[in-house]
Amino acid sequence: MYKVNGIEAYEAHNRTELLAGLEAKSEYILIKGDYYKEVRKIMDTHLPENESIGVALGSAGVLSILNYAIDAVRNSFSNADKMDKKIDRKLNSFKIKKITDDGLLLSLKQLDY
């Protein structure tokens, strides 16, 4: 555990540690080292929360189902290994809270509600 500004965060330096933090359902995950750049790329492919809420409300939920189906198809045809697919799927529950030169702090989206 890593503590910064009163926030306890699970610290991860590689994909094995990140998956462990995701499966432990940590509220905050701090990704440090070179691996944070890779996670940043993954997070950039996810639809931002405010856009996904707008889509869900504007389409009465129909497009949310379509978005889920597109993600499922994308993951099934992806060349990534099983661990990377699992990480990508679990990262959908997180958003980027803070970006620094050497790390990335993720927080559960549920904490904002």
pLDDT at residue 59 tops 70: no
Domain that holds residue 12: 2-112
- pLDDT digit string, tens, across residues 4-19: 677 789 999 999 999 9
Predicted confidence at residue 69, as pLDDT, reads: 78
- pLDDT digit string, tens, across residues 93-111: 888 888 888 889 999 987 7
pTM summary value? 0.72
- pLDDT digit string, tens, across residues 76-89: 777 778 888 888 88
Predicted confidence at residue 92, as pLDDT, reads: 84
Domain count, the chain: 1
- For residue 89, give the amino acid letter: R
Burial of residue 85 (number of CB atoms within 10 Å: 0-12, 13-18, 19+) = middle
SS3 percent helix, strand, coil of the chain, rounded to 5, is 50, 25, 25
**What is the rounded CA–CA span in Å between residue 103 and residue 35?**
9
